[in-house]
C-alpha cells in the first residue's frame, strides 16, 4: 500500500505577511505586554480603533507627500462609494477617536491613551519590514509640556529595559514649530533646488522639503551633506523647550544622541522628534519612535490640541531581542498536565483540571484516551512542571499520583487535597 502524497495547502498567508502561532506567538505577546505595562502604570487608558478609516484622515494627517500615503496605503472603495484605507499607523486614528468621543472636552487634559494592534503598508517585503505589522502605541493629547515628551520617552525606555534589551539607542531632534519652521523651510528649499535630484524628489521639495532629509536612498543622502539644519534655525521658545526635554531625560538616566537630521517619515511632527534604533538589525534598524504633533488635531478638523506620542514595533523588538540572544519571560502555557487511565479517572481528573484552572493554575488534559506512555510524552512536550496521573486503583485508594516532571519524583496525594497540594508546590517553588 503506497502512502498518498502530501498535498500543499490551498491557501497561504499573503506575500509580506506572517502568521503567529505557538510558541513564537507567546514571545510576541510577552513583548506587547512588557511595552504596554509602563504606560498603563502611568495612567494611560486603553483605546481601540477600527482597522480601516477614511482615506482623507491619513492624507491630511500623515501627509499627502509621504510614501505612506502616495505608495503604501491599502485602499478600497465600498459599495456606497466611500474610500477607505487600512490603517498604516495609529496616531491619526486614536486622535480621531478621542475627538469624536469628545474626550478633550472633559477638562482633564492631557487625555492619555495607549493602544496595540496590526497596521498595514504595501512595502517591499524584507527582514524586519512586513506588509502587516504589530505596534504598541501611546498618545498624550491636549497639553504642551516638555515633561510629557520626556515621560513618554522614559516609558518606552522602561519597556525595552524590562525585556532585557540593552543594545538600543535613542536619537533625538527638534523640528521647530509654526513660528520658526517656515523660515527654515525656505532656506532648505533653496539649498535642495540647487541639487541634481530626480523629478519625484524635486516635487517633494515644493510640498514638504523636510521629507527629502528622510530619504533613505544613497544617491540622495550623498548630496545632503551640506544641508542646513533645523537646530540652527530654532526660535528661542523651541530651543528652550528642547533643552528642558534633554535635561529631564538626563536626570532620569536616559542616554540619547542628538541627531540634527532626524525628521522621521510623517508630516505631522513638530518640536520633539525621536527614534529608537538597534544596530543588530541591519538596514531596518528602527524599532520604535515618535514625537510631538501639535497641529495634527487642526489638520483633521479638530480644535488646537498640542499632543505627543510614540509607536513601538513589536516585530522589530522581537528581532532586536533575538539579535542580543535575549528571550522575553514567557509564562508557561501549561503548568500541570492531567493523565487519566480509565473512564472514572477521566471524569475525576477533568473536574480537578477545571478546579485548578479556576484557581489560576495553567492546566491541560490528555484528551483522546491515549495510553500512559503517549500521554506522558505529551505532558513533557507541553512544558508542564507536574503531571497528575490516576487510574482505577488510585481512585479506589482515594489518591492521585503527583509527578514532578523535572526531578522525576512521584508522590501519592489525597484526591480531596490534590488541588491544594499543587498550588502549594507552585508557591514553594516561586
* Residue numbers belonging to the annotated binding site for L-histidine: 89-91, 121, 135, 139, 264, 268-269
Secondary structure, 3-state, the chain: CCCCCCCCCCCCCCCCCCCCCCCHHHHHHHHHHHHHHHHHHCCCEECCCCCEEEHHHHHHHCCCCCHHHHHHCCEEECCCCCEEEECCCCHHHHHHHHHHHCHHHHCCCCEEEEEEEEEECCCCCECCECCEEEEEEEEEECCCCHHHHHHHHHHHHHHHHHCCCCCEEEEEEECCCCCCHHHHHHHHHHHHHCCCCCHHHHHHHHHCCHHHHCCCCHHHHCCCCCCCCHHHCCCHHHHHHHHHHHHHHHHCCCCCEECCCCCCCCCCCEEEEEEEEEHHHCCCCEEEEEEECCCHHHHCCCCCCCEEEEEEEHHHHHHHHHHHCCCCCCCCCCCEEEEECCHHHHHHHHHHHHHHHHCCCCEEECCCCCCHHHHHHHHHHCCCCEEEEECHHHHHCCEEEEEECCCCCEEEEEHHHHHHHHHHHHHHHC
Other Cβ atoms less than 10 A from the Cβ of 343: the count is: 10
Residues 6 or more apart whose CB falls under 8 angstroms from that of 75 comprise 55, 83, 84, 85, 86
The binding site comprises 89-91, 121, 135, 139, 264, 268-269
Provide the terminal-to-terminal Cα distance of the chain, rounded to the nearest Å. 54
Distance CA 180, CA 29 (A): 42
Pairing between strand 307-313 and 286-292? Answer: antiparallel
Helix H or strand E encompassing 143:
none
Identify the residue whose cell numbers are 478638523: 301
Amino acid at each position: 500500500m503506497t502512502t498518498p502524497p502530501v498535498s500543499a495547502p490551498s491557501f497561504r498567508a499573503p506575500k509580506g505577511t506572517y502568521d503567529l502561532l505557538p510558541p513564537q506567538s507567546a514571545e510576541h505577546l510577552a513583548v506587547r505586554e512588557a511595552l504596554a505595562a509602563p504606560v498603563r502604570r502611568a495612567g494611560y487608558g486603553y483605546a481601540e480603533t477600527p482597522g480601516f478609516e477614511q482615506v482623507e484622515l491619513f492624507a491630511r494627517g500623515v501627509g499627502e507627500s509621504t510614501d505612506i500615503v502616495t505608495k503604501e496605503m491599502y485602499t478600497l472603495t465600498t459599495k456606497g462609494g466611500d474610500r477607505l484605507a487600512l490603517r498604516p499607523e495609529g496616531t491619526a486614528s486614536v486622535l480621531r477617536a478621542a475627538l469624536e468621543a469628545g474626550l478633550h472636552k472633559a477638562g482633564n487634559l492631557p487625555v492619555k491613551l495607549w493602544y496595540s494592534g496590526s497596521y498595514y503598508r504595501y512595502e517591499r517585503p524584507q527582514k524586519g519590514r512586513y506588509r502587516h505589522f504589530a505596534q504598541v502605541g501611546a498618545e498624550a493629547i491636549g497639553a504642551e509640556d516638555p515633561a510629557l515628551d520626556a515621560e513618554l520617552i522614559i516609558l518606552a525606555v522602561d519597556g525595552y529595559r524590562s525585556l532585557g534589551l540593552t543594545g538600543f539607542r535613542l536619537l533625538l531632534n527638534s523640528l521647530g514649530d509654526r513660528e520658526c519652521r517656515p523660515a527654515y523651510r525656505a532656506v532648505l528649499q533653496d539649498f535642495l533646488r540647487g541639487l541634481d535630484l530626480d523629478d519625484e524628489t524635486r516635487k517633494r521639495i515644493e510640498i514638504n522639503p523636510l521629507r527629502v532629509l528622510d530619504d533613505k536612498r544613497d544617491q540622495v543622502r550623498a548630496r545632503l551633506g551640506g544641508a542646513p539644519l533645523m537646530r540652527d534655525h530654532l526660535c528661542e521658545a523651541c530651543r528652550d523647550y528642547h533643552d528642558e526635554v534633554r535635561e529631564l531625560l538626563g536626570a532620569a538616566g536616559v542616554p540619547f544622541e542628538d541627531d540634527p537630521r532626524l525628521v522621521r517619515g510623517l508630516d505631522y511632527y513638530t518640536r520633539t522628534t525621536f527614534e529608537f534604533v538597534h544596530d543588530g538589525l541591519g538596514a531596518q534598524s528602527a524599532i520604535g519612535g515618535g514625537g510631538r504633533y501639535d497641529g495634527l488635531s487642526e489638520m483633521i478638523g479638530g480644535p488646537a490640541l498640542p499632543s505627543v506620542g510614540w509607536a513601538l514595533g513589536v516585530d522589530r523588538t522581537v528581532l532586536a531581542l533575538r539579535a542580543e540572544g535575549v528571550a522575553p519571560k514567557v509564562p508557561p502555557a501549561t503548568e500541570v498536565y492531567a493523565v487519566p487511565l480509565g473512564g472514572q479517572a477521566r471524569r475525576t481528573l477533568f473536574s480537578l483540571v477545571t478546579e485548578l484552572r479556576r484557581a489560576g493554575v495553567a492546566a491541560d488534559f490528555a484528551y483522546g484516551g491515549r495510553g500512559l506512555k503517549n500521554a506522558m510524552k505529551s505532558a513533557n512536550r507541553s512544558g508542564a512542571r507536574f503531571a497528575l496521573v490516576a487510574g482505577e486503583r488510585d481512585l479506589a485508594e482515594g489518591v492521585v499520583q503527583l509527578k514532578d516532571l523535572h526531578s522525576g519524583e512521584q508522590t501519592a496525594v489525597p484526591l480531596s487535597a490534590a488541588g491544594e497540594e499543587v498550588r502549594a508546590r507552585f508557591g514553594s517553588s516561586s
